[in-house]
Amino acid sequence: MTSPQACSASPQTTSRRDFIRASGGALAAVGLAGSASSLWAAPVEDSFSLPSLPYAYDALAPVIDAQTMMIHHTKHHQGYINNLNAVVSQESSLAGKSLVELLKHLDSIPAAVRTAVRNNGGGHANHMLFWQVMQAPREAGKPSGKLGEAIASKFGSFANFKEQFTKAAMGQFGSGWAWLVVGDGGLEVVATANQDNPISTGKTPILGIDVWEHAYYLNYQNRRADYVDAWWKVVNWEQVAMFMQKAAS
Ligand code: MN3
C-alpha cells in the first residue's frame, strides 16, 4: 500500500510540516478520527462501503433535521459509493487503490473513467469528512487552543474567518463545497465545484460544508445563507483541531 505521505512528497512538505509543528501540541484523541487523509487511506479489499455516522440521524437537529441526514447518508453518500464501486470493478487498474491514491493522482486514471472517479470518489471522501466535523448543536462553539490561535493569526480573528468561509460557501455557484484547508502557506479557505476534493490540488481539508441543495433543501429550501449561518453551531472544533494537527503527519 502506498501511504498518502509518500504520495504527497513535494516542495511544500517542509513548510507545511513547519506550520503544523508551530501550531502543534498534543490533543486528546478520545472519540476523534485521526487525520483527514487517514479517513480515505484505508486499503480497499473488496469494495468501498458506507461508514456509520458518529451520531444518530437526529443528533444535529434543529440545525440539520433527521430526514435530511438520513437521506443524505443512505441515498446520496451511498449513491457515490455504489457508482465508485461500479467504476472500479470495470477498470482493473483501479483495483485495491485507496481514496487518497485515486484523488491525489487523477491524471494517472484512464481518461474514460477519470470524471466518474473524480465525482464519485470525491463524493465519498467529502461526505466521510463532513460527517466527522459535525456534532450536536452548541450555541457558542468556536475553535480554541492551537486551532483558535492559527485561525486568529491567519485571518485576523475568528469572525473574519467565518466571514471569509461563509463568502466561499455562498459564492459557490450551483453545487459544491467550502473548505478550510492546510495548504502551502498554512490555513486557507477554498471552494470547490461539484464533488471535487482539495486533496486533488495538494491541499488537506480539515473542515468542509456541503452546499449542494440536498444538504439543506428540506429544511431551508432556497435559503442557503440561513443553513450556512446555522451550521456553525454543529461544527466539531475538537475534530477540526485534530485534523489540523495531523495534516502533515
Ligand atoms: Mn452531499
**CA of residue 178 to ligand 1 center, whole Å:** 12
231 and 170 in a common domain: yes
- Short-list 71, 80, 95, 89, CA closest to 50: 80
Residue 41: the pLDDT is 76
What grid cell was written down for 42? 484505508
For ligand 1, a single-atom ion, the residues with CB < 5 A are: 210, 212
Same domain, 120 and 162: no
Co-location of 116 and 13 in the same domain: no
**Residue 58 forms part of a structural domain:** no
In angstroms, what is the span from residue 73 Cα to ligand 1's centroid? 8
Nearest Cα to Cα of residue 155 among 184, 133, 179, 187: 187
How close is the Cα of 187 to the center of ligand 1, in Å? 24
What is the total count of domains within the chain? 2
Residues spanned by the domain of 151: 5-34+136-248
Inform me whether the pLDDT recorded for 127 exceeds 60. yes
Same domain, 24 and 146: yes
pTM over 0.75: yes
**Closest Cα to residue 202, out of 20, 37, 22?**
37
User: Does residue 206 sit in the same domain as residue 219?
Assistant: yes
**What pLDDT digit, counting tens, does each position of 231-245 carry?**
999 999 999 999 999
Residue 42: which CATH number?
1.10.287.990
Beta bridge pairs of residue 6 = none
pLDDT at 139: 85
| CA 99 / ligand 1 centre spacing (Å) | 17
Shared-domain flag, residues 119 and 146: no
In a domain, 55, yes or no: no
Q: Pick the closest to residue 180 from 172, 169, 170 (CA basis).
A: 169
Same domain, 108 and 227: no
